[in-house]
């Protein structure tokens, strides 16, 4: 009975990043916001131009 309920998953080197990458994104994005983005926002002279971005999207 226990063997029937057990599901084996074959995860090889190609499919494992499909499951692991979202975890890495979530856990690395939070520190990035606090340590990098706040510094970039305060020291950068870049201003997003919505008209150029919108024109390039067509």
Confidence (pLDDT) at 55: 93
CA distance 41 to 33: 10
Say which residue, 14 or 20, is predicted with more confidence: 20
Summarised one tens digit per residue, pLDDT across range 26-55 is: 899 988 888 898 888 889 888 888 999 899
SS3 30: helix
Q: Is 15 buried (19+), middle (13-18) or exposed (0-12) by CB count in 10 A?
A: exposed
Residue 13 has pLDDT above 80, yes or no: no
Rg (CA), the chain: 21
- Helix (H) / strand (E) element for 42: namely helix 38-43
Q: What is the pTM of this model?
A: 0.42
């Amino acid at each position: 009975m226990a063997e029937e309920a057990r599901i084996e998953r074959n995860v090889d080197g190609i499919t494992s990043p499909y499951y692991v990458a979202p975890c890495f994104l979530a856990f690395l994005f939070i520190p990035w916001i606090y340590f990098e983005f706040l510094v970039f926002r305060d020291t950068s002279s870049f201003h997003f131009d919505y008209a150029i971005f919108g024109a390039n999207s067509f």
